[in-house]
Amino acid sequence: MSNWHVNILTLFPEMFPGTLGMSLSGKALDKGMWSYDCTNIRDHATGIHKSVDDTPSGGGAGMVMRADIIESALLSLPTQGRKIYMSPRGKPLTQQLVQSLTKEPVITVLCGRYEGVDQRLLDAHDFEEISIGDYVLSGGEPAAMIMMDACIRLLDGVMGNAHTPDEESFASGLLEYPHYTRPSEWTDTNGVTRTIPDVLTSGHHKNIEKWRQEQAENITQKNRPDLWEAYINSKK
């Protein structure tokens, strides 16, 4: 059984494991399929106030986390592996990127606060910047949890059905098809009776597969035209 390890550099180690300690990821953590260590950046600050930030050079609002203090925290790690800084200006977190991260035995994730971190730290230690979306959070910790969750569920043995990850959104370049379950007829609060599509109860697996493919294509074309264009181009 392999162990995927994450070093987390943060000012708020108490935020972890958070939701990662529950459900599938929590069970996998208990079984040793993955592990993590939090390093409190403030523990590496000096002075009576243990300050980790300072005013931005050139002026401007907010504060910037200091390179020397973060570097001290980083160098305290026995193994660093692939180094990632959670940042709204980073490259998008995609399923393909998630898959590549799970191949790394160790990754180190830097969670910024305030206006960000001194660029010199990122340059000096070749940090890879990753974004979970086009919006700004109050800190990198929630973004780190999302990235870690996406990775953990792909680790060997975490999910019960080995085929499930291959059928989900983005795995094939398409969004996922709709799901249904019992009862076969359900009346909603508006009094409308809704049934499961007949093809799904037909027992005809080839037709079911065809229906699911068509649904995935339609949903992707409607909701994510960018993904649809990339998917079409990949078929040329």
What pLDDT does residue 165 have? 58
Ranges in the chain, pLDDT < 70:
1-2, 161-169, 171
CATH topology of domain 168-234: Trp Operon Repressor; Chain A (1.10.1270)
Establish whether the linkage from the previous residue to 92 is cis, with ω within 30° of 0. no
Which option is the CATH number for 4-152: 3.50.50.60, 3.30.70.270, 3.40.1280.10, 3.40.50.720? 3.40.1280.10
Q: Could you tell me the two tokens for 158?
A: 């975490």
The pLDDT score that the predictor gives to residue 236 is 84
Ordered alpha helix ranges (H), the chain: 23-30, 67-75, 95-102, 119-124, 141-152, 164-167, 205-223, 225-234
- Cα–Cα distance measured from residue 177 to residue 170, given in angstroms and rounded to the nearest whole number: 11
Residue 2, pLDDT score = 60
Q: How high is the pLDDT of residue 8?
A: 98
State how far the Cα of 52 lies from the Cα of 179, in Å rounded to an integer: 48
pLDDT of residue 169: 62
Return the domain boundaries, the chain.
4-152, 168-234
Q: Would you say 180 and 197 are in contact if contact means Cβ atoms under 8 Å apart?
A: yes
Query: For the whole model, what pTM was predicted?
Result: 0.89
Question: Whose CA is closest to 81, among 98, 112, 111, 104?
Answer: 104
pLDDT in the model for residue 1: 46
pLDDT at position 199, please?
96
CA dihedral over 44, 48, 51, 57, signed as positive or negative: negative
Query: How confident is the model at residue 29, as a pLDDT?
Result: 98
